[in-house]
């Protein structure tokens, strides 16, 4: 019992109680009354008790805050992303670089098959306005652009220091559900199509993370993927389609075309090709190789016994959702040298992924510390789970960017 509370109880004489049980009952009742009086602001009615009641309130507040903080950290851990910017980021994934159509500097990330291979470029300009174009050479390289979080508790942000939005308030109920239709928790979705106990569900967040620009390592405006800094970009909790396979058809009605054995067989073929060293098949935008099907665009994954595979697929689905809604743009190919363009299906070979939490992929003993979408986890990160961290995974997204490095004319 806290010291102020003991003093308050001594102020009220309960020594006259003849029985120990009655004395304990009275003391418990008095303690409850004191706390109620304190929290309702009625301490001013009894000036002698004001110092003691103030101590009770302080102790209760401190205990409540500590408990809430501990619960939040257990449910929503921090990935300490800013302490990993040197040793935890796979900086070798930036290579190779393609300059003026020539691939250089080696590296294990490879060049996307759809990447631009021209030597020169000309962007902007207008004869009617007497404006000269910017003429230069083409540039293509990998750069970190986004962070994707797969979290079990809705509104949990490991990249923001383990912030659990709404914790300690009535906005998030005990079962993890939130104010929005997509905010289901406990690893379960509300859709009736989820019946297998091995199915898993998680919420996914996309945060912009243009690390090269944030660290001021380079300043080429035309090579920016469109992000100015770190920000929350997409949240599955606000999408009512994320936890319901039926509603998801409003976003991707073509899902009917891929719900057949032939597309599943093609995913197996793509898986075998990627395991053998091939890039993902960009034209097969419905497939995620060894991870499964990209459709439907929901957070429910069947056969979720492999958390690395399941969380990777959920991350890829949210990226595909970003393209479908027009939030993300294509930065690979000759058509985007002068600036990113919208496309409504995911260009899979534009991205490579790096696991950064609970363990970072820089310890990969099999070569590259980033992986293609759909690449088997057996070749890059099946061993990177960690007991006690829950179903919380964070991926750093590397994005191939083709752009024009201006030499003559106004800067682009």
Contact (CB, 8 A) for 144 and 210: yes
* Backbone Cα Rg of the chain: 28
- In this predicted structure, what is the pLDDT of residue 206? 98
DSSP string, 336-383: GTTS-EE-SS--GGGEEEEEEESS-GGG-TTS-SSEETT--GGGTTTT
- In this predicted structure, what is the pLDDT of residue 288? 96
Q: What is the pLDDT along the chain (412 residues), one digit of tens a residue?
A: 545 444 444 444 444 444 444 444 445 455 445 444 444 444 444 444 445 444 544 444 444 445 555 566 778 999 999 999 988 999 999 999 999 999 999 888 999 999 999 999 999 888 778 788 999 999 999 999 999 999 999 999 999 999 988 654 434 443 444 444 455 544 444 443 445 667 889 999 999 999 999 998 887 777 888 898 999 999 999 999 999 989 999 999 999 898 888 998 999 999 999 999 999 999 999 999 999 999 999 999 987 789 999 999 999 999 999 999 999 999 999 999 999 999 999 999 999 999 999 998 887 777 789 999 999 999 998 888 888 778 899 999 999 999 999 888 776 6
Contacts (Cβ under 8 Å, ≥6 apart) of 138:
98, 99, 100, 101, 116, 117, 118, 119, 120, 121, 337, 402, 403, 404, 405
- In this predicted structure, what is the pLDDT of residue 412? 60
Between CA 380 and CA 268 the distance in angstroms is: 18
- In this predicted structure, what is the pLDDT of residue 187? 44
- In this predicted structure, what is the pLDDT of residue 196? 62
Element (H, E) at 154: none
* pTM for this prediction: 0.79
Share of the chain residues as helix, strand and coil, in percent rounded to the nearest 5: 35, 20, 45
Q: Which residues of 378-401 are buried (b: 16+ CB within 10 A; e: fewer)?
A: ebbbeebbeeebbbbbbbbbbbbb
Between CA 299 and CA 297 the distance in angstroms is: 7
- In this predicted structure, what is the pLDDT of residue 173? 40
């Amino acid at each position: 019992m806290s010291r102020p509370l003991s003093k308050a109880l001594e102020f009220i004489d309960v020594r006259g109680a003849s029985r120990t049980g009655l004395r304990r009952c009275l003391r418990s009742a008095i303690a409850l009354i004191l706390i109620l009086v304190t929290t309702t602001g009625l301490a001013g009615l009894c000036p002698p008790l004001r110092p003691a009641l103030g101590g009770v309130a302080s102790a209760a507040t401190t205990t409540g805050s500590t408990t809430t903080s501990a619960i939040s950290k257990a449910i929503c851990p921090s990935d300490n992303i800013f302490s990993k910017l040197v040793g935890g980021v796979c900086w070798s994934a930036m290579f190779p670089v393609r300059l003026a159509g020539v691939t250089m500097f080696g590296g294990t990330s490879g060049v996307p098959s759809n990447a631009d291979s021209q030597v020169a470029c000309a962007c902007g300009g207008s004869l009617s306005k007497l404006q000269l174009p910017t003429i230069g050479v083409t540039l293509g390289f990998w750069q970190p652009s986004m962070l994707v979080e797969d979290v079990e508790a809705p509104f949990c942000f490991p990249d923001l220091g383990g912030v659990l939005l709404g914790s300690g308030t009535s906005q998030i109920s005990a079962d993890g559900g939130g104010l929005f239709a997509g905010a289901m928790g406990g690893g379960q979705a509300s859709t009736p199509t989820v019946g297998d106990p091995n199915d898993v569900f998680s919420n996914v967040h996309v945060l912009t993370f243009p690390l090269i620009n944030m660290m001021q390592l380079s300043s080429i405006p035309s090579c920016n993927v469109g992000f100015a800094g770190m920000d929350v970009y997409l949240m599955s909790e606000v999408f009512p389609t994320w936890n319901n396979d039926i509603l998801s058809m409003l976003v991707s009605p073509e899902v009917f075309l891929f719900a057949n054995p032939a597309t599943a067989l093609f995913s197996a073929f793509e898986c075998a090709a990627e395991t053998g060293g091939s890039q993902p098949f960009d034209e097969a935008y419905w497939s995620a190789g060894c991870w499964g099907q990209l459709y439907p665009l929901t957070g429910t994954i069947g056969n979720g016994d492999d958390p690395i595979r399941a969380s990777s697929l959920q991350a890829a689905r949210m990226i595909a959702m970003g393209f479908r809604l027009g939030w993300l743009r294509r930065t690979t190919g000759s058509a985007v040298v002068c600036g990113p363009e919208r496309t409504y299906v995911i260009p899979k070979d534009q991205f490579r992924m790096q696991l950064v939490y609970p363990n970072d992929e820089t310890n990969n003993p099999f070569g590259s510390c980033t992986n293609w979408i759909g690449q088997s986890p057996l070749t890059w990160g099946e061993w990177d789970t960690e007991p006690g961290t829950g179903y919380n995974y964070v991926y750093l997204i590397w994005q191939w960017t083709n752009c024009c490095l201006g030499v003559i004319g106004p800067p682009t």
